[in-house]
Every structure is written in structure tokens, then in C-alpha cells.
Amino acid sequence: MKGAETRGLRIAIVGAGVAGCAAAWYLNSDGVDVTLIEKSRGVSGRAATRGRGEVRFDHGANFFKLNDRAIRYVVQQVVPSKDLVQIEGEIVSFSAAAPTRTSKRDGQQALWTYRDGISRLGKLFVNHANVEVQTRSRVQSLRSRDNEWYLSIEAGVQFGPFDCVLLTPPAPQTVEILSASTGPGCTDLMDALRRVDYSSQFAFILGYERAWRLPEGVYGWINSDTDYPSAWLSREEAKPGHVPEGQRVVICQMQPWWTKQHFHDPVDSLVPEAAAYAARILGNEANSFDWYDHQRWRYARPQSRLSLMDARRGEAHGLFLAGDFLAEQAGVPEALHQGLEAARRIGRRFGIETAQLLSTGSV
Ligand SMILES: Cc1cc2nc3c(=O)[nH]c(=O)nc-3n(C[C@H](O)[C@H](O)[C@H](O)COP(=O)(O)OP(=O)(O)OC[C@H]3O[C@@H](n4cnc5c(N)ncnc54)[C@H](O)[C@@H]3O)c2cc1C
């Protein structure tokens, strides 16, 4: 790459979800000049948290697991936080045919979030890296000139030049960017990414000013056969620090098939229906919510995976990909892993030392 060896590498990362934030931290810790560009107001993407008065709730990913040794090391040792908390209670499952009959699941693992919400994870990486994030900046297209990349944002703003671009939005949003871009590798990557489908998912958040009775020791209810309209129900107060004493917050994530049927319907009409489905499992009190919130996740989870061979088609031209669409199973730890892996490949491609983690040999 022109001059990169002498003046230092400049990298643009598009998307500040967990994958993008982890990659930014990894590269920045080796002194690489990283520009992290995010279309929304905050960081952490689908690992998302909102607040309402003293209440905090995770309206995208609800928790993450720390089963993988390397991810556990990164979360607990590299970006440690006293606010990392284990969720109290178990997950039980139910079927559509007998929704009131729940059964315990075998081999339950510890579930984690942060006291102030799961979005803390993305923020921790950004803070540790001391990377400046360009928020409210939707990347519209890329352009290559003389082996360097330029990014166009809305309102005619441009970023660049960069030696390398790491794209981390969900596959369809990356396709949108690439379809408006010019440069080597763009068409190849776009053709490969087009094959990755995503499911959409409605999340409703129901708030109660009273903590009515729920079964002891249960945090979440999961529909095992995917035939019941609610895919997942959980009580946010099982997360330390999220809900003040005497209140209750229920998360209702709907099935992708139900979401598809109702995606464009007015939310006001959907909330009582979602509450009624929750009430069949949690009891009639669930119908009488005091407030609600919602999120329509258009690209909730990938339904297929992009092969690593396809994902690497752009690397020779300085175009890298990361995100949960590269993982065997979509999830926060998997996205984090993909972000770190992309950063490591960038490091290798440009011959930079990835000192921080390689020196520990942990990741
Ligand atoms: C409802 C729901 C529940 C889930 N539950 C769990 C769970 O309990 N546990 C779990 O582990 N996982 C869960 N997941 C999955 C998990 O949230 C994702 O796998 C993970 O967060 C993906 O991270 P990412 O960095 O790959 O992508 P994202 O988090 O999607 O990050 C991509 C970022 O790119 C930005 N972006 C998009 N387009 C542009 C553009 N043009 N310009 C600039 N920025 C752009 C987006 O705003 C976003 O911030 C859930 C997901 C959903 C939606």
C-alpha cells in the first residue's frame, strides 16, 4: 500500500456494533489510526440499551455468555468493568400447544450483561481504545483512488484517504453501501453478501409500576417449537441495577414469522396483542402494563452464513468484513470474535504487530 509503511496505517471501520468496536480497540492499541463511523447516535449496535427514568432495559441482545475462553479473557481482563453482572434466575421453555406448562432446560450457563445495560460492552472497547467515533454518520458509498479508499457520508461529507476499510453492518446494509461504491473488490463482495438473509424481529418492552408475582428463580421463558407468537419473554429486574424495587419490566421478543406478518402495522395496535400473548404465560397481570416501548429490528439475526472464503474476496484490495453473519451462530460473543479476527487479519495483511493480545497469547 502506498506509503502506509512509512506514515502509519489509516483504517476506517464502518459500524460501531460489538464487532466494529472490538476491532477498533484491537487495531488502535497498536497505534493504528482508526476512524470508527456509525450511523446511529450511540455505539454497540444490536447489543442495545435504553433508559426510562431509573429503568434500564436491553431491547436487542438480552445477555451474552462467556463460555469461550478467549472472549472471557477479553471481557473480564482486557476491558474489565465492576458493572459486569450475572443475571439472576434460569431460563425455562414452553411449547405452543401447552404454553402454561414450562420445563427446565438442561446445562444452563451463566448469562451476563452490565449494570447500566448491555451497550456498555461496545462503549468499553471504544473507551479503552480512546477511539473517536463519528456517530450519526451513515456511510453511503466507498470510492477507491490510487489504492486508497474514500468514504462518502450523507450531506456530501467525505472521510479519507484510508489504506483499508472494515465493513461491519449486517450483510444487507453492507450490500447497500457496496452497490453505490466504485473500486476493486466491491462487486465480488456484494454478490457474496446478497446471499445472506436476515430475520426481522419485534421487541416490545412492557413496564409495570408494581412487581406482581412471577415464578421464583425464573429469568426467561423461551418458546421451544417457534410456533407461539412470543419467541422470548424475560424479566429485566433479574439484571442487577436495571429496574428499581417494586417495579417490573418484561421483554417480549416476537417470532420472526409473527414480525413479518405485522412489520408495518401501527405499534399501538400490536402492543396489547403482544401483552396478551405474554399474559398466557406470565399471568393476567401482564395485560395491565403502565408504559411500553418497542424496537422493530429489520435485520435481527442472519439466517445463513457467509463463507470465510467469500468474505475474504476483497482483502487483497483493502476491503475487510466482520460481523455475526460470519459466525456459525449469531450472537454477541461471536460478533466480538469476528471483529477481533478481522483486526488480526488486517494486522497480518499490513505487517503490523498486534502486540496487546498476541503478547498474552490469549486470543
Ligand atoms: C432482538 C434481538 C435479540 C438478540 N438476543 C441476543 C442475545 O440474547 N444474546 C446474544 O449473544 N445475541 C443476541 N442477539 C444477536 C446480537 O445482538 C448480534 O449478533 C450482535 O450484536 C451483532 O453485532 P455486530 O457488531 O455484528 O452487528 P451490529 O450490532 O448490527 O453492528 C453494526 C453497526 O453498523 C451500523 N451501520 C449499519 N449501516 C451503517 C452505515 N451505512 N454507516 C454507518 N454505520 C452503519 C449499525 O447502526 C450498527 O451499529 C440478538 C439480536 C436481536 C436483534
Q: Is 118 within a domain?
A: no
Q: Is 82 within a domain?
A: no
pTM reported for the whole predicted model: 0.95
**Chain-centre distance for alpha carbon 156:** 28
* CATH number of the domain to which 210 belongs: 3.90.660.10
Q: Is 169 within a domain?
A: yes
* 107 and 210 assigned to the same domain: yes
Q: Quick check: 196 and 190 in contact, CB under 8 A?
A: no
* 18 and 92 assigned to the same domain: no
* CATH number of the domain to which 341 belongs: 3.50.50.60
Tens of pLDDT along 240-263?
Answer: 999 999 999 999 999 999 999 999
* 144 and 214 assigned to the same domain: no
* 187 and 240 assigned to the same domain: no
Of the candidates 254, 211, 255, 256, the residue with the CA atom closest to the CA atom of residue 235 = 211
Tens of pLDDT along 318-335?
Answer: 999 999 999 999 999 999
Last residue of one domain, picked from the residues 282, 302, 322: 302
Q: Is 333 within a domain?
A: yes
Ligand 1: nearest atom to the Cα of 40: 47
Q: Is 311 within a domain?
A: yes
Quote the domain boundaries for residue 144: 4-39+137-196+304-358
Q: Is 275 within a domain?
A: yes
Instruction: Give me the pLDDT at residue 129, please.
Output: 87
Last residue of one domain, picked from the residues 302, 323, 342: 302
Query: Coil, strand, or helix at residue 271?
Result: helix
Which parts of the chain sit beneath pLDDT 70?
A: 1-7, 353-363
For the chain, state the CA radius of gyration: 21
Which phi and psi angles does 64 have, rounded to 5°?
-135, 155
* Distance from residue 190's CA to the centre of ligand 1 (Å): 19
Instruction: Give me the pLDDT at residue 7, please.
Output: 57
Q: Quick check: 257 and 131 in contact, CB under 8 A?
A: no
Residue 273 CB contacts under 8 Å (≥ 6 apart), including other chains: 229
Question: 111: which 3 cell numbers?
Answer: 448469562
Question: 196: which 3 cell numbers?
Answer: 445472506
* 285 and 265 assigned to the same domain: yes
Query: Coil, strand, or helix at residue 140?
Result: strand
Q: Is 59 within a domain?
A: no
Q: Which residues line ligand 1 (CB under 6 A)?
A: 14-20, 37-40, 45-47, 60-64, 138-139, 168-170, 173, 177, 201, 203, 253, 297, 300-301, 323-324, 330-332, 335
Beta strands in 146-214 (DSSP E): 148-153, 158-162, 164-167, 198-208
Instruction: Give me the pLDDT at residue 32, please.
Output: 86
Of the candidates 200, 362, 221, the residue with the CA atom closest to the CA atom of residue 282 = 221
* 164 and 145 assigned to the same domain: yes
- From the CB of residue 106, how many other CB atoms can be counted at a distance below 10 Å? 5
Last residue of one domain, picked from the residues 302, 328, 344: 302
Residue 145 CB contacts under 8 Å (≥ 6 apart), including other chains: 161
* 108 and 211 assigned to the same domain: yes
Ligand 1 pocket check: which of 46, 65, 205 to mutate, most ligand atoms within 8 Å of Cβ? 46
Q: How many domains does the chain have?
A: 2
* 222 and 270 assigned to the same domain: yes
* 145 and 176 assigned to the same domain: yes
* 208 and 261 assigned to the same domain: yes
> By alpha-carbon position, which residue is closest to atom 13 of ligand 1?
61
* 271 and 213 assigned to the same domain: yes
* 202 and 295 assigned to the same domain: yes
Instruction: Give me the pLDDT at residue 360, please.
Output: 44
| CA dihedral sign, ordered 241, 242, 243, 248 | negative
What is the per-residue burial (b if ≥16 Cβ within 10 Å, else e) of 279-308? bbbbeebbeebeebbbbebebbbbeebbee
Q: Is 70 within a domain?
A: no
Ligand 1: nearest atom to the Cα of 18: 25
Of the candidates 14, 129, 35, 23, the residue with the CA atom closest to the CA atom of residue 341 = 23
